[in-house]
Amino acid sequence: MTGPPPLGRAGKAGRTRPPAVTRGSTRRELLVALLGLPFAAASCRRGPRRGPRVPEGEIVGASHDLGHRVRDGLVPAVPADRWTRAAVAIVGGGIAGLSAAWRLERAGFRDFVLLELEEAAGGHARSGASRVTAYPWGAHYVPAPLKEDRALVALLDEMGVLGGRDAEGEPVVREEHLCRDPEERVFFKGRWYEGLYLHAGASREDLAQLAAFRAEVDRWAAWRDAKGCRAFAIPLARSSDDPEVTRLDREGFGEWVARRGWTSPRLRWLLDYACRDDYGMRLEETSAWAGLFYFAARLRGPGAEPRPLVTWPEGNGRIAAHLLAAVRPRVRLGLAAVDVASGLEAGRPAVRIVAVDRSGAARGFVADQVVFAASQLVARHAIRDWRAAPPAHLAEIEHGSWLVANLHVRSRPREVGFPLAWDNVLRESPSLGYVVATHQAGRDHGPTVLTYYHPNCDADPRSARARLLAMDHADSAELVLADLERAHPEIRGLVERLDVMRWGHAMVRPRPGFVWGSARGARRPWRGIHFANAELSGLPLLEEALHHGVRAAEEVLAARGVPFETML
């Protein structure tokens, strides 16, 4: 680093020092680090006495009050003139419900209404926007689909995200929608490293175990059953039901890993991170089938690169907005379906729905068929016959809770090591780290929004949920800032606003035995009610929500004799 480079000062943008990608700590950064020490020390000393400053912000979304009205089971009377008829009613405006509506619309069928409890549609794919950028509130990417996920391919094609097919007929995602490199980095002991797996300092044994795990994933990527089905496919409906694969669901992922003698802390961390990231669960609690699904379903075949990720500044909010735009006139927001009753109407089977709005006013809808796209948890209280006698499978559905925070920062934090990526993971934290909203837009300077994800991975989701809902804005903000402060000591000074979303019932938890267990039975329609939700797959993925929405809509179309070409 001393002395002039060869050939005098060679180089436009030339070579008085290496590019930031190699050595993150430039002279200036070193300088600042040196100078920052006394200040940092001073602020540490000051911290406990003064108490930390809480940034401006609020707890947004997830209307627990209106949501819990459904649970209370009080059904108001609906005046006779407040009843509406529609051929089909869809309950729930998350991805599953919107997909069902979108599917009906694409078949040219428009006699339907969609009821959504929140004031915004999108469910876990909701998003927000500031002056600076749009940002996600929940799910924020999908892996580029393989051609077998026909519904998602059709949807992305309609959105203009795809640019044709490759030689093998697999869809090609346009460059601007693929997650921009650098995709991810991990913070460990004071420094950022490229990628998720910590290669720096990995022993020979660590790398051997990583290779062995990859070989195992490759083996499953190559595996086909007698019918030619892949072991792990998206949507799950295309995965093999051969016992050789499904028996993986009876075992915990941690157990499965331990049985292979894989003890490398680096490998175990990577697998645990994967479980927390996709399922909000620890390695030990996750089904081995679900754990392997995360890795193997994203491979076209053995040795292939994992499918690239498709993302937008607002995350999957882009998809939700597209689906919504197609069906907006038929969507009613801020209406909670509190009672869904199957019966006869003028001698024909019909379903009556009572819904209430925030003011408590009730409305009624009569439909031939209902697509129930809200959680089974809601169904348990809303479907009249289930209130008295809930089906057995409901007891098996478990949801994790998440805290998601959006930090509006005035500028980017200083970096030590690998530069800011899209996904920024803290290795020594229970959180998943944060994604950067402006990354995909290519805006690399100035203000941005960091979306911070923190799943509660406790073995007992109820107590975790109670703890989450007991936290106020200041508690939540402190949790987020104290965590991020490890990697970004100056983060408090950069945050202009910090909003928090508490997802009480965020993700269905694929514990051992759940995905291939009895909950699968809930996919069958029941007295004119067709169910659609990612829960029915046991995997909290947009692809599964989309699949079930489309499937339920196609069941309805078939029942009504509307001609259509299946997307499944």
Partner 1 sequence: MGRVPILFLHIFVVAACGLVYELLAGTVASYVLGDSVTQFSLVIGIYLSALGAGAWLSGFVGKDVARRFIEVELAVALLGGLSAPLLFLAFASLSWFQLVLYGTVFLVGVLVGLELPLLLRILKDELEFKDLVSRALAFDYIGALVASVLFPMLLVPRLGLVRTSLAFGILNAAVGLWATYVLADLLGRRARGLRLRAALAIGVLAAGVAKADLLTSLAEEGLFADPVVYARTTPYQRIVVTSGPAGFQLFLNGNLQLSSADEYRYHEALVHPAMAAAGSPRRVLVLGGGDGLALREVLVHPTVESVTLVDIDPAMTELSRAFPPLAELNRGALADPRVKVVNEDAMVWLEAPGPPADVAIVDFPDPNTFSLGKLYTTRFYGLLKARLAPGGAVGLQCTSPLFARRSYWCVVRTLEAAGFRVRPYQCAVPSFGVWGFALAALEPIDRPLRAPPGLRSLDDASLAALFVLPPDLAPLEAEVNRLDNQVLVRYYEAEWRRWE
Q: What is the DSSP secondary structure assignment for residue 177, as one 8-state letter?
A: G
| Minimum distance of partner 1 from residue 162's CB (angstroms) | 15
Per the listing, tokens 């921009």 go with 180
The CA radius of gyration of the chain, in Å to the nearest whole number, is: 25
Report the residue from 111, 157, 176, 460 that binds partner 1 according to the rule CB under 8 A: 176
The reply on whether position 38 binds partner 1 by CB under 8 A is no
**Closest to 117 measured CA to CA, from 170, 68, 187, 182:** 68
Distances (CA, A) of 411 to 124, 132, 447, 492, 495: 28, 11, 4, 12, 9
The reply on whether position 25 binds partner 1 by CB under 8 A is no
The reply on whether position 37 binds partner 1 by CB under 8 A is no
Report the residue from 65, 72, 168, 175 that binds partner 1 according to the rule CB under 8 A: 175
The reply on whether position 6 binds partner 1 by CB under 8 A is yes
* Total H helices, total E strands in the chain: 16, 21
The reply on whether position 195 binds partner 1 by CB under 8 A is no
Q: What are 340's two structure tokens?
A: 């869904």
Q: What is the DSSP secondary structure assignment for residue 442, as one 8-state letter?
A: T
Q: What are 508's two structure tokens?
A: 């269905």
- Give the integer Cα–Cα distance in Å for 87 and 77: 22
- Give the integer Cα–Cα distance in Å for 299 and 412: 34
| Minimum distance of partner 1 from residue 440's CB (angstroms) | 9
141, 310 in Cβ contact below 8 A? yes
- Give the integer Cα–Cα distance in Å for 276 and 282: 6
The reply on whether position 166 binds partner 1 by CB under 8 A is no
Stretch that binds partner 1, among 171-179, 254-262, 293-301, 543-551 (CB under 8 A): 171-179
The reply on whether position 131 binds partner 1 by CB under 8 A is no
| Minimum distance of partner 1 from residue 436's CB (angstroms) | 12
Q: Give the residues across from 371 on adjacent strands.
A: 90, 530
Stretch that binds partner 1, among 12-20, 48-56, 267-275, 398-406 (CB under 8 A): 12-20
Q: What are 536's two structure tokens?
A: 């029915």
- Give the integer Cα–Cα distance in Å for 195 and 185: 5
Closer of 71 and 180 to partner 1 (Cβ): 180
Stretch that binds partner 1, among 271-279, 342-350, 365-373, 436-444 (CB under 8 A): 436-444
| Minimum distance of partner 1 from residue 195's CB (angstroms) | 13
Closer of 169 and 442 to partner 1 (Cβ): 442
Report the residue from 181, 244, 255, 428 that binds partner 1 according to the rule CB under 8 A: 181
The reply on whether position 18 binds partner 1 by CB under 8 A is yes
Q: What are 273's two structure tokens?
A: 């991170």
- Give the integer Cα–Cα distance in Å for 484 and 490: 9
The reply on whether position 304 binds partner 1 by CB under 8 A is no
The reply on whether position 445 binds partner 1 by CB under 8 A is yes
The reply on whether position 7 binds partner 1 by CB under 8 A is yes
The reply on whether position 300 binds partner 1 by CB under 8 A is no
| Minimum distance of partner 1 from residue 412's CB (angstroms) | 9
Per the listing, tokens 């809770």 go with 401
Per the listing, tokens 């030689």 go with 167
The reply on whether position 443 binds partner 1 by CB under 8 A is yes
Closer of 334 and 489 to partner 1 (Cβ): 489
Q: Which residues sit at the interface with partner 1, rule CB under 8 A? A: 1-2, 4-22, 26-28, 30-32, 34-36, 175-176, 178-183, 308, 411, 419, 441-446
